[in-house]
Amino acid sequence: MPFLLLPVDDPPGPASDRASIERNCIALLSSPVALAADPASAGWLGRHSDRPAIPASGLWNNRHAFAAFDPEALAQFEIWVERCPSLLDKIAAGAELGSRPPATGYATGGNSMRLKDKTALIIGAGQSPGETLGNGRATALRFAQEGARVLCADRDLASAEDTARQAGNGAAAFRADVLDEAALEAAVAEAVRLWGRLDILHYNVGVSIAGGDAPPTEITAEAFDRVTAINLRGFVLAVKHALPVMRRQQGGVILSISSAAAVESYPYVAYKTTKAAMLAFTEQVAIQNAGHGIRCNTILPGLMDTPMAVDTRVRHTGKTRAEVAAERDAKVPLRRRMGTAWDVANAALFLASDEAGFITGVALPVDGGRLVQIG
């Protein structure tokens, strides 16, 4: 049976919270390749496991890998197992619990990088406060892992810089507030300045409750305008400045994060309407630019275990994170468990790659079957 080691400086939730322990430990399952924090950790793991170990900073919590940092982690893990005896059984049954196949590219020792020599601008590549990884950072890491040079743009420059450091492969950071059109234009120009072209634009910015969103009878004009400016206007303006570059190149990929809320019942008016509008805009950009070799697609995440989706609700409802997570898990048909940022990142990777070269104008659900369930 495989064993799992976790970093002692980032334990998976409160030790007393068995559900949190299980959730976070299981999220690290499934690759036959071990992922370590640094060469020293990789060497230590290699001496204690029959799995090859690869040093890769910042990716320890990828569900495609086991993580090992130092011997003390094993002692901590044993403590968690004592508090949650069923954990080992769940780890042993990882495939049954939704473990994923190993990622392609250098993480599994392969030679095929799906975005080799591509350049990408990810807007919203920072990290919101919370216990889990956000979609933007996860996507930046996956793109870089598959060979892309990534410009990590975010209104929080320090967070963007942290993402760029973790991504490696020449990734850079750039401060850009999506409320400022000039900043979006400058981000596109910076990618071109750095690498001479822009192959992928990924708009990964969105806000709902934190922006003051509310039901139709309670929404304020200010909150509606704020959410619309962030979710929709920023996307439109980013595309506005990326399209001339991609048209000159006669090729490119435009991606965005919409939401399953666009097509399912959702209580708050601004988020739903802006995310639905993104679907129409995606179709418009796709058909108007197909002749230039530009593809445009969007992703519809369902119930995801990300800081924006879960931790924001914790702050606004007063519930514990475990309570919010359990409520959301129960609504997911597939394994009764939310998806993670890696699920969204892998969908973005596919749509950005040449594997999706004949796909444009689509909205791809990443939702564990929820949209199928509701029809």
Asked if residue 152 lies in contact with residue 174, where contact means CB atoms within 8 angstroms, the answer is yes
Q: How many CA atoms lie within 13 A of 25 on its CB side?
A: 33
Q: DSSP assignment, residue 122?
A: E
Give the DSSP per-residue string, 184-242.
HHHHHHHHHHHHS---EEEE----SGGGT---TTT--HHHHHHHHIIIIIHHHHHHHHH
Cβ neighbourhood burial of 181 (10 Å; 0-12, 13-18, 19+): middle
Q: CA 16, CA 25: separation in Å to the nearest integer?
A: 14
Indicate the length of the chain as a whole number: 375
Looking up tokens 């702050």 gives 315
Q: CA 56, CA 36: separation in Å to the nearest integer?
A: 6
Q: CA 324, CA 77: separation in Å to the nearest integer?
A: 25
Among 215, 234, 218, which Cα is nearest to 226's?
Answer: 234
Q: DSSP assignment, residue 103?
A: P
The strand pair at 149-154 and 34-36 is best described as: unpaired
Active-site positions? 271
Q: What is the spatial order of strands in the sheet that 34-36 belongs to?
A: 53-55, 34-36, 66-68
